[in-house]
Structure 1
Amino acid sequence: MITVPPGRVTLSDRRTQQSWAVDVASYELAACPVTREQYEGTTGDRRPAHSVSWLDAVHYCNELSRREGRTPAYAADGEDVSWDRTADGYRLPTEAEWEHACRAGTEGPRYGPLDEIAWYRGNSDERPHEVGGLRPNAHGLHDLLGNVWEWCWDRYDPAVYGDYRVLRGGGWFDEHWSCRASVRRRSHPTLRIDDVGFRLARSLSGGSAGAAGEAAAR
């Protein structure tokens, strides 16, 4: 887990042509997406876990928290999930936290030349690759762009899409234009897709990072 410093990030949505600024407190984010070795117990498989639904990711976060003696971040009743922002357990990043971490102080579409930082259709041979093999951003975070899309906590647009959750980052099968810091995608929280995985986050200071990031959902 890497501590990401606080800051402000401006999110945008091409569909609605809207943008909004979010203040993000400091939090922790995993250096790489969760791997198959971690998620499935496949020894030595450092490729990102995939075909993981949003709900699957929520349950994994709670399971790992319990395993380490931490307070689970989520309470789940079927598809109804609530977030205890005071918990010290693992969770999904908010959309604002994800983009803030991805940009790492940069303002362009990417934190480096695409072929140096991301597995995408142009260089992936149309398959996922081991995490951590390409250049990280300034925070030391790998594979935020490319390899697999990553689930975020936030609903995409509740008024239009209901419970659909946000995906970020682009994947191994995507063209270059999808692998940008600002690109948003959505999916239903029960769907398992072969280019979708997730990355662990953890709150600091009693969950204040998550409280700030949640403004992105409104």
Structure 2
Amino acid sequence: MRTRLIIFTLLLSIQGTFAQNNLPVDMILVPEGFFGTQVSDSVTGSVKTHLTQEIRSFYMGSTEVSIQDFQQFCKDTGRKMPPAPEWGWGDPKLPIANVTYAEAIEYCNWLSKQYEETFTLPTPEQWEYAARSTNFDTPDFIYNKDLPNAFVVYIGNSREKPDCITCMQPNELGLYSMCGNVWEWTLAGERDPTNPAVMGGSFFEDANSVKVNSKKKFNKYLRRQDVGFRVVIN
């Protein structure tokens, strides 16, 4: 435990260095650890977690990419905004939505050039690991609390639209709206590059579909009013 605390403290000091190098101030350090796959025992009814994949430390955007951020990207690259959702583009602090997977990747590439760091989308495993605050040991984490609560925007409290990117409370790592608000694109795998996964549920989903392992696969050219994204630096 003491060794892990020392490592985490050192990583936090590195995070401060990143901030001083003019990287976006809303990048949160996610410490290294292991991703767990949960398997149900049909005989006993118990659930066991098998640690299946090492996760190296990475930085994740504390919020979903906002309308304001995406508008700046469109302005700098001379492109039009995506089709507006029903609530329009008037509130710059709402999450961007109606973006395709390709547009999310292009945004990451633009950021990479702006800051001379490699921005990308999180893998599904990175996304769930961060949403759980690295916790695969117990059900005691923020996004496992009963709904409604102060952390998740879902159909029970959303008024049929997303909320601002920091309107809910963050999880233990300081990440906002990992569950609910808008589904988030994750990096496509080599086995199925055409149908990337979206994670976390949205304002339009019920309580059973806004969990850390909520996942759907959509065609990369799809636009939906409840799909956005956030970025990582590996």
- CA offsets per residue over residues 53-76 of structure 1, 9 Å max, x none? 1111000100121122x1xxxxxx
Cα shift at 1:32: 0.4
**Residues of 1 paired with 2:103 and 2:127: CA distance?**
19
Select 1:51's aligned residue among 81, 94, 98. 98
Residue type of the alignment partner of 1:62? N
- Match of 2:125, SS state, is helix
**Residues of 1 paired with 2:224 and 2:38: CA distance?**
24
Structure 2 vs 1, CA of residues 190 and 20 (structure 1 numbering), >3 Å: closer, same or farther? farther
Higher strand share: 1
Q: Does residue 139 in structure 1 map to residue 176 in structure 2?
A: no
Select 1:126's aligned residue among 155, 160, 175. 160
TM-score, structure 1 normalization: 0.75
Q: Which of the pair has the greater relative contact order for Cα pairs under 8 Å at 6+ separation?
A: 1
Select 1:39's aligned residue among 66, 70, 73. 70
Select 1:94's aligned residue among 109, 119, 123. 123
- Match of 1:9, SS state, is strand
Q: Does residue 173 in structure 1 map to residue 204 in structure 2?
A: yes
- Specify every segment of 5 or more residues in structure 1 that has no aligned partner in the other structure, as ranges: 71-87, 204-218
> Is the 2:60–2:231 Cα contact (8 Å) retained in structure 1?
yes
TM-score, structure 2 normalization: 0.70
Matches within 5 A, 1:156-195: 158=192, 163-195=194-226
- Match of 2:169, SS state, is coil
Structure 2 vs 1, CA of residues 11 and 54 (structure 1 numbering), >3 Å: closer, same or farther? farther
Structure 2 vs 1, CA of residues 145 and 119 (structure 1 numbering), >3 Å: closer, same or farther? same
Cα shift at 1:23: 1.1
- Match of 1:143, SS state, is coil
Structure 2 vs 1, CA of residues 29 and 164 (structure 1 numbering), >3 Å: closer, same or farther? same
Q: Does residue 66 in structure 1 map to residue 113 in structure 2?
A: yes
**Aligned pairs, number:** 178
- Match of 1:96, SS state, is helix
Residue type of the alignment partner of 1:182? N
- CA offsets per residue over residues 189-214 of structure 1, 9 Å max, x none? 111111000001001xxxxxxxxxxx
Of structures 1 and 2, the larger Rg is shown by: 2
- Specify every segment of 5 or more residues in structure 2 that has no aligned partner in the other structure, as ranges: 1-26, 41-49, 73-88
- Match of 1:154, SS state, is coil
The answer to which of 179-188 and 101-110 deviates more is 101-110
